[in-house]
Amino acid sequence: MATLKEEKNKRVKKTDQEKNEMLELFRQMYLIRQFELACGENYTKGNIRGFLHLYIGQEATAVGSISCLNDEDYIITHYRDHGHALARGLDVNRSMAELFGKKTGLSKGKGGSMHLFDSSKKFMGGHAIVGGQFPVATGLALACQYKKTGGLVVCYFGDGSTNQGTYHETLNLASVWNLPILFILENNKYGMGSAIDRVRAGGEDFYTGVDTYDIPAAQVNGMDVLAVKEATEIAVKKVRQTGGPFYLECKTFRFVGHSLADGQKYRKNDEITEWEKQDPLMKFPEWIKSAGIATDKDLEKIKSEVNKIVESSVEFAESSDEPSKSELNDDIYKK
Amino acid sequence: MTEILMREAIKKGLEEALDKDSNVLIMGEDIGEYGGAYAVTDGFLSKFGPERIKDTPISEATFIGTGIGAAAAGLRPIIELMSISFSLVGFDQIVNMAANIRYMSGGQIDVPMVIRAPTGAGVQLAATHSQSFETWLAEVPGIFCVCPSNPKDALGLLRTSIKNNNPVIFAEPALLYGLKGEVPDEYYEIPLGSASINQEGNDISLLSYGAGMSILHETSEILSKKNISCEIIDLRSLSPIDYTTIGESVKKTNKLVAVDTARKNGGIMAEVVANVQESFNDWLDGPIIRIGANDVPWPYNKNLEAEAYPSSEKIADSILEKLI
Which segments in chain B show pLDDT lower than 70? none
Is A216 inside any structural domain?
yes
Domains of chain B by range and CATH? 2-183 (3.40.50.970), 196-322 (3.40.50.920)
User: Residue A67: is its pLDDT beyond 60?
Assistant: yes
The answer to whether residues A88 and A38 touch, using CB atoms and an 8 Å cutoff, is no
pTM above 0.90, yes or no: yes
pLDDT given for residue A11 in this prediction: 52
Whether A279 contacts A73, CB under 8 Å: no
CA angle B282/B288/B293 to nearest 5° reads 160
Strand ranges inside chain B, DSSP E: 2-5, 24-28, 53-55, 76-80, 114-119, 144-146, 168-173, 180-183, 196-199, 204-208, 230-234, 237-239, 256-263, 289-293
Question: Residue A62 belongs to what domain range?
Answer: 4-315
Q: pLDDT of A56-66, one tens digit each?
A: 999 999 999 99
Angle between helices A59-66 and A280-290 (to 10 degrees): 60
What's residue A4's pLDDT? 57
* pLDDT confidence of residue B246: 98
* Maximal CA-CA distance, chain A: 60
CB contact (8 A) between residue A134 and residue B105 = no
CB contact under 8 A, B70 and A140: yes
Q: Identify the residue among A136, A181, A335 best suited for mutation to test binding to B, counting B beta carbons within 10 A and taking the highest.
A: A136
Distance CA B37, CA B221 (A): 34
Angstrom distance (rounded) from CA B29 to CA B23: 20
In a domain, A333, yes or no: no
Is residue B129 annotated as part of the catalytic site, yes or no?
Answer: yes
CATH number at residue A311: 3.40.50.970
Residue B186, class by beta-carbon neighbours within 10 Å (0-12 exposed, 13-18 middle, 19+ buried)?
A: exposed
Among residues B8, B29, B60, B134, the one annotated as catalytic is B60
What gap in Å lies between CA B147 and CA B128, rounded to an integer? 20
Q: Which residues of A227-251 are buried (b: 16+ CB within 10 A; e: fewer)?
A: bbbbbbebbbebbbeeebbbbbbbb
A167 occurs within a structural domain: yes
- Residue B211 pLDDT: 98
Looking at the complex, report in whole angstroms how far the Cα of residue B47 sits from the nearest Cα belonging to chain A.
17
Q: For residue A9, what pLDDT is reported?
A: 53
In a domain, A332, yes or no: no
For residues A208-220, give the mean pLDDT: 96
Do B172 and B119 meet the contact criterion of CB atoms below 8 Å apart? yes
CA-to-CA separations, A152 to A89, A168, A237, B52, B64, in angstroms, rounded: 18, 20, 10, 20, 20
Answer yes or no: is A93 within a domain. yes
pLDDT of residue B42: 97
Task: Spell out which residues of chain A touch residue B103, defining contact as CB-CB under 8 Å.
Answer: 110, 331-332
Using CA coordinates, name the residue in chain B closest to A118: B108
Taking CA–CA distances from A113, the nearest residue in chain B reads B104
Asked whether residue A308 is domain-assigned, the answer is yes
What pLDDT is stored for residue A268 in this prediction? Answer: 81
Q: What share of chain B is helix, strand, coil (3-state, %, to 5)?
A: 40, 20, 40
The answer to whether residue A173 scores a pLDDT higher than 70 is yes
pLDDT at A10: 55
Average pLDDT of span A185-198? 94
Mean pLDDT of chain A: 95
Q: What is the pLDDT of residue A213?
A: 97
A323 contacts chain B (CB < 8 A): no
Residue A60 counted as domain residue? yes
Q: Which residue of A has its CA nearest to B142?
A: A332
Split at pLDDT 50, 70, 90, the class of A261 is: confident
Contact B66 A144 (CB under 8 A): no
Q: Which residue is catalytic, options B8, B29, B129, B134?
A: B129
Q: Which chain B residue has the Cα nearest residue A331?
A: B107
Of the candidates A161, A157, A81, A77, the residue with the CA atom closest to the CA atom of residue A113:
A81
**Are the Cβ atoms of A125 and B92 closer than 8 angstroms?**
no
Helix (H/G/I), strand (E/B), else coil: A268 = coil
Which residues, numbered 50 to 79 in chain A, qualify as contacts with chain B under a Cβ-Cβ cut-off of 8 Å? 74, 76
Total domain count, chain A: 1
B104 and A110 in contact by Cβ < 8 A? Answer: yes
pLDDT of residue A230: 98
What is the pairing mode between strands B114-119 and B168-173?
parallel
Identify whether B60 is a catalytic site residue.
Answer: yes
Res B324: pLDDT = 84
Task: Confirm whether A335 is domain-assigned.
Answer: no
Q: Which of A79, A142, A171 should be substituted to probe chain B, the one whose Cβ sees the most B Cβ atoms within 10 Å?
A: A142
Checking ipTM against 0.90, whether it exceeds it is yes
**Which range, of A11-25, A171-185, B299-313, averages the lowest pLDDT?**
A11-25
CA distance A242 to chain B (A): 17
The pLDDT score that the predictor gives to residue A260 is 86
Put simply, whether B77 touches A (Cβ < 8 Å) is: yes
pLDDT at position A8 is 52
| Nearest alpha-carbon partner for B315 in B225, B238, B217 | B217
Contact B106 A108 (CB under 8 A): yes
